[in-house]
Structure 1
């Protein structure tokens, strides 16, 4: 029998309807096992370097009430995201004009062995009072990181445009070897903070050493970084200051991996003096574990190119969207085993995506990126451990963490266009225990949903809306 065109179209439409995705997927099973534990979590945060701290304190007219709002959003565990890490920029400029960060030794002493003329203004481009305010709200880690040594310590006699630290392997200067002077400089920065009542807990001396930026920066390979680490470690020990050493903030995860061989080499491996290995996500994302037994931190990453998208959790998978960053964080913690994740800037007066919170003159606009961070930082506290978590669907991804308090926070990211039914079983959770879901999507910002009671074996069932992130927190 020959079918008419109309009959053929009808049969085709019937077939497509029968094979199309339903309004919900088939059942997705999530299994969480707290007995299998992985890396310790140190926290989440951002930087306010290059005078961005002053944006918070009203440089562009932000009123006092909104200054407090921003500080609470960033650092208060109850009122905001509860960030516990702040990354300071150690300045290398002899001026604080524009966005430059002033040096504590702005004047060239003339030689590496000459007495330095250190200067402390108690302000540090707004970063010192910011650190005070952050600590008062629960900050636990202050990471001071130099983008460059002062220009007179470098092969190009300039804090900008790359150049190497005088004295590292294969890099010599007519003025001599400045490695010890640079170590003294960094330790003095920590001492100034300590004497003023604020503890610097971690100290770094490089930022993106593969990139000769037009702004402050300094080039280095792994071997050259190792040369300096050995000297810095001895200098810190002699100072009796309690501060941990980080290295090397590679511009991408692959770039940091390429430095590991140099840090591990030699009869006196520099890795032995390091506490944290640090890298960025720009050139390559943190999708695998670095070749080290040390803790690793993702210390900078941002959308520097995308359109202004503060209100979008998901539209088309753009680089500034909240879901994009929820996925970045989850992958870094789960697949790369990082112990910390930091965005570039926490808050700034800008209509770009380079900050988590946009400050536009007097206005405060937390982005969906910020709320994606808060889904982790608010419930995954320092000292928690990542625990085993699996999903039966590759499109509904999961991560889970057990806090020192015993509370378990489990993040589900539904990357599908449809709502999904899920069952979550958390081994060891007793029947009757309250589980609170918190959702972030295009419609909600970390909104608490109706409590769920766990059943036998820690099992509960619920739904996750399309393109949403839900964190389940046990009581």
Structure 2
């Protein structure tokens, strides 16, 4: 038989997936799943292609038409690829498209906050618009439009870059006046342009990492100042007739977002009442605990920005760009922080760094192990699923489990030990004879479909999980 077939057959034999007969393991782990105990609803998994990274997908650096389709399918087709369901667009604030700047829909200062704006729409939006069209034609369900900054003329520093505050928020005034309403109108107009062009923006955000005065587009804010904007934006959306959900505030770390919650909750008219989703990033601090809110929470940006290049490594030494590292980040965020969504920074870009899940090297497409770690979740845990109770007897063999709207249960086991483990899994309420589909990712395999088997009495089954590997068990 061919080598690859032999290797797969050998692996399947070694895993010894079965629903009966007790193995004789060197390390044994018991896993319990109870779908009757539910936690947060899942909205999905996704990426961004902001700052002109969408153009990379459409051949800016030589990606062929065939491979453009291949990348789009890897990102957004659940049958072919990861089936990401959330795309995070950048709402531009620049009057140029030089370098990787994102164009503003209002590049010219109208002169005052009450002057008539001169909006411009090119049906391209740094290639984000055609990307959204292609994503929606596959499995995209949520388009999150997020502004890094207001246009410079609306800010205290008269610059889209280097921090600065929106004119008119608490303790920040400008000679030109209060620009909060004009900024709200600007954000809503962006969504209106998309809708009129046939693409639906579902979520709208107006800040990105407001604790950080970056050299690129960005805007500073605390919770109280964000609340000033939210109240006006909510009224503007209601008046527009558009169906838009407001998000805030994409703090640079989970702790930074937590620090903003008091300001969002304060006052006789708490801004939190107008929010649909609270958003944060993982850079300064990871999402390891629930934020102080009853609203849904999303991890909307995080990546390995250290400059390394480890596309083929699921595990070597626990490095920041390795696939197992990101599988663990996702599992912890969903399980311990109760997030409803998890987004990596960039989906695909022409680079040899770890800032994307897929590296494009002119016309070569390299899905990283980070990508396959994401796919272990996104392919099988669909929007509308609920996280359910799951526990493991070994702290180094971690588990998460989700029940989809169609009743299919997806359980992820991450073996972080250096040895194979035998696991006994019991899924309460799962009938005997249900077909289980296992999928494996490790240094050697990428979401490899293993032999199916059937659950035993009481929804139980046994399996071997290789060292430093991840397996998703999905019920039929």
Q: Same fold (TM over 0.5)?
A: yes
What is the deviation of 1:25?
Answer: 3.8
SS of aligned partner of 2:33: strand
Instruction: Specify the alignment match of 1:289 in structure 2.
Output: 290
Matches within 5 A, 1:324-403: 324-403=325-404
TM-score normalized by the length of structure 1: 0.95
| CA–CA separation in structure 2 for the residues paired with 1:181 and 1:25 | 66
| CA–CA separation in structure 1 for the residues paired with 2:213 and 2:85 | 31
Mapped contact 2:27–2:420 kept (Cα < 8 A): no
Instruction: Specify the alignment match of 1:309 in structure 2.
Output: 310
Instruction: Specify the alignment match of 1:17 in structure 2.
Output: none
Instruction: Specify the alignment match of 1:12 in structure 2.
Output: none
| CA–CA separation in structure 1 for the residues paired with 2:319 and 2:308 | 9
| CA–CA separation in structure 2 for the residues paired with 1:183 and 1:158 | 18
What is the deviation of 1:357?
Answer: 0.2
Matches within 5 A, 1:73-152: 73-152=74-153
What is the deviation of 1:26?
Answer: 3.1
What is the deviation of 1:306?
Answer: 4.6
Tell me which structure has the larger Cα radius of gyration: 1
Instruction: Specify the alignment match of 1:427 in structure 2.
Output: 428
What is the deviation of 1:51?
Answer: 0.2
Instruction: Specify the alignment match of 1:50 in structure 2.
Output: 51
Spell out, residue by residue over 1:102-153, the C-alpha distance to the aligned partner (whole angstroms, 9 max, x if none). 0000000000000000000000000000000000001000000000000000
Mapped contact 2:149–2:217 kept (Cα < 8 A): yes
| CA–CA separation in structure 1 for the residues paired with 2:67 and 2:139 | 19
| CA–CA separation in structure 2 for the residues paired with 1:122 and 1:305 | 34
Matches within 5 A, 1:438-453: 438-453=439-454
Instruction: Specify the alignment match of 2:16 in structure 1.
Output: none
Instruction: Specify the alignment match of 2:272 in structure 1.
Output: 271
Runs of 4 or more consecutive aligned structure 1 residues displaced over 2 Å after TM superposition: 23-26
| CA–CA separation in structure 2 for the residues paired with 1:162 and 1:450 | 54
CA RMSD between the two structures: 0.7
SS of aligned partner of 2:61: coil
| CA–CA separation in structure 1 for the residues paired with 2:392 and 2:144 | 35
What is the deviation of 1:453?
Answer: 1.1
| CA–CA separation in structure 1 for the residues paired with 2:180 and 2:340 | 30
| CA–CA separation in structure 2 for the residues paired with 1:50 and 1:145 | 12
| CA–CA separation in structure 2 for the residues paired with 1:462 and 1:212 | 50
| CA–CA separation in structure 1 for the residues paired with 2:101 and 2:171 | 30
Spell out, residue by residue over 1:12-71, the C-alpha distance to the aligned partner (whole angstroms, 9 max, x if none). xxxxxxxxxxx9543210000000000000000000000000000000000000000000
Mapped contact 1:306–1:319 kept (Cα < 8 A): no
Mapped contact 1:410–1:473 kept (Cα < 8 A): yes
Instruction: Specify the alignment match of 2:3 in structure 1.
Output: none
Q: Which runs of 5+ in 2 are unaligned?
A: 1-23
SS of aligned partner of 2:193: helix
